[in-house]
Copies of this chain bind each other. A is one copy, B any other.
Amino acid sequence: MKRAASGKPTGRASATSSNSVKGVPVSSVLNAGLIGAGRIGRLHASNLAHHIPRARLVAVADVVEEAARQSAAEHGIPKAVADYRVLLDDADVQAVVICSATDTHAQIIEEAAQAGKHIFCEKPIDLTLERIDTALAAVDRRGVVFQIGLNRRFDANFRRVRQAVEQGEIGRPWQLHIVSRDPLPPPLAYVKVSGGLFLDMAIHDFDMARFLIGSEVEEVYAAAGVLVDEAIGALGDVDTAVTILKFANGAIGTIDNSRSAVYGYDQRVEILGSGGMISTDNNFPNSAVISDGRAVHRDLPLNFFMERYTQSYLAEMTAFVDAVLDGGTPPVTGVDGRLAVVLALAAQKSFRENRPVRVSEVDLSRD
New contact pairs (18) apart from A242-B244, A354-B356, CB-CB < 8 Å:
A159-B286, A172-B227, A175-B256, A223-B246, A224-B252, A228-B274, A244-B244, A254-B256, A263-B276, A263-B292, A264-B291, A278-B290, A281-B287, A291-B301, A295-B297, A295-B300, A296-B299, A355-B356
**Given A51-B51, A291-B263: A252 and B225 interface contact (C-beta under 8 Å):** yes
Q: Is the CB of A290 within 8 A of B274?
A: no
- The minimal Cβ–Cβ distance linking A84 to chain B, given in whole angstroms, is 26
Nearest chain B residue, comparing its CB with the CB of A260: B274
Q: Kindly list chain B residues whose C-beta atoms are within 8 Å of the C-beta of A266.
A: 272, 277
Nearest 4 Cβ contacts at the A-B interface: A276-B292, A263-B291, A297-B297, A295-B297
Does A120 reach chain B (CB closer than 8 Å)? no
Q: Kindly list chain B residues whose C-beta atoms are within 8 Å of the C-beta of A179.
A: 177
Does A329 reach chain B (CB closer than 8 Å)? no
CA separation between A254 and B223, bound complex, in Å?
Answer: 10
Q: Which of B170, B177, B242, B355 contacts A252 (CB 8 A)?
A: B242
Does A279 reach chain B (CB closer than 8 Å)? yes
**Given A228-B274, A256-B272, A261-B272: A298 and B296 interface contact (C-beta under 8 Å):** yes
Q: Report A164-199 CB contacts with B as 1/0, cut-off 8 Å.
A: 100001111011010101000000000000000000
Q: Is the CB of A288 within 8 A of B280?
A: yes
Does A10 reach chain B (CB closer than 8 Å)? no
Does A50 reach chain B (CB closer than 8 Å)? yes
Q: Report A216-242 CB contacts with B as 1/0, cut-off 8 Å.
A: 000001011101100000000000111
Q: Kindly list chain B residues whose C-beta atoms are within 8 Å of the C-beta of A254.
A: 177, 242, 244, 254, 256
Q: Is the CB of A258 within 8 A of B53?
A: no
Does A7 reach chain B (CB closer than 8 Å)? no
Q: Report A36-58 CB contacts with B as 1/0, cut-off 8 Å.
A: 00000000000000110100000
Q: Kindly list chain B residues whose C-beta atoms are within 8 Å of the C-beta of A170.
A: 290, 292
Q: Is the CB of B295 within 8 A of A289?
A: no
Does A78 reach chain B (CB closer than 8 Å)? no
- The minimal Cβ–Cβ distance linking A346 to chain B, given in whole angstroms, is 14
CA separation between A9 and B264, bound complex, in Å?
Answer: 48
Nearest chain B residue, comparing its CB with the CB of A49: B53
CA separation between A275 and B254, bound complex, in Å?
Answer: 23
CA separation between A284 and B54, bound complex, in Å?
Answer: 28
Q: Which of B227, B277, B283, B293 contacts A250 (CB 8 A)?
A: B227
Q: Is the CB of B277 within 8 A of A263?
A: yes
Which of A225, A227, A258, A291: most chain B Cβ within 10 A? Answer: A291
Does A318 reach chain B (CB closer than 8 Å)? no
CA separation between A293 and B274, bound complex, in Å?
Answer: 10
Q: Is the CB of B262 within 8 A of A276?
A: yes
Q: Which of B256, B275, B282 contacts A177 (CB 8 A)?
A: B256
Q: Is the CB of B175 within 8 A of A242?
A: yes
Q: Kindly list chain B residues whose C-beta atoms are within 8 Å of the C-beta of A223.
A: 221, 244, 246, 252, 356
Nearest chain B residue, comparing its CB with the CB of A175: B256
Q: Kindly list chain B residues whose C-beta atoms are within 8 Å of the C-beta of A169.
A: 290, 292
CA separation between A246 and B108, bound complex, in Å?
Answer: 42
Does A22 reach chain B (CB closer than 8 Å)? no
Q: Kindly list chain B residues whose C-beta atoms are within 8 Å of the C-beta of A252.
A: 223-225, 240-242
